[in-house]
Amino acid sequence: MTVTQAAAERLVRIGEVARGAGVSVRAVRYYEQQGLLIAERSPSGQRLYRQDAVALVRFFQQMFAAGLTSRRITELLPCWDSGHTDAEQRAMLRAERDRIQAKVDDLQTALDRLDEIIAITDTHP
């Protein structure tokens, strides 16, 4: 829900966002550069964020961890905060989902391999 009135909802500077989300200041600037995160500016030019920016940055981190590029994330952001999607976006979402699932399977396979090796090396003194 967008609070359209509610005079001046506490804005924070970039350092606080970075610390809150556990990333570097540089990272947050990078997100803006990639069109992921828009910030207001103070009269002197400093970036000002709403506090929900922290959650958004955390979301970015999750998606990055899943192997999505910032480009992909910008493409799915409209779905995220408008809830509306066209066919192309839905296809993209499913493609990414499937890709991640495949990656999980790959990792699981590698994990089994490693456990196998660990088991062998544990029995071999």
Partner DNA sequence: CTAAAACCTGACGTTGACGTCAGAGGCAAG
Partner DNA sequence: CTTGCCTCTGACGTCAACGTCAGGTTTTAG
Chain positions contacting a second copy, by CB under 8 A? 59, 62-63, 65-66, 76, 79-80, 83-85, 89-90, 93-94, 96-97, 100-101, 103-104, 106-111, 113-115, 117-118, 120-122, 124
49: three-class secondary structure by DSSP: strand
**Of residues 20, 30, 66, 75, which one binds DNA by CB under 7 A?**
30
Expressed in angstroms, the distance from the first to the final Cα of the chain is 62
Measure the CA–CA gap between 15 and 5, rounded to whole angstroms.
26
Closest residue by Cα to residue 23 from 35, 11, 14 = 14
Measure the CA–CA gap between 10 and 35, rounded to whole angstroms.
23
C-beta of 34 vs 89, nearer to DNA = 34
3-state secondary structure 103-115: HHHHHHHHHHHHH
Piece of the chain touching DNA by CB under 7 A; list 44-52, 90-98, 102-110, 111-119: 44-52
C-beta of 107 vs 119, nearer to DNA = 107
Instruction: Tell me which residues touch DNA (CB under 7 A).
Output: 13-16, 18, 23-27, 29-30, 34, 42-47, 60-61, 64, 68-71
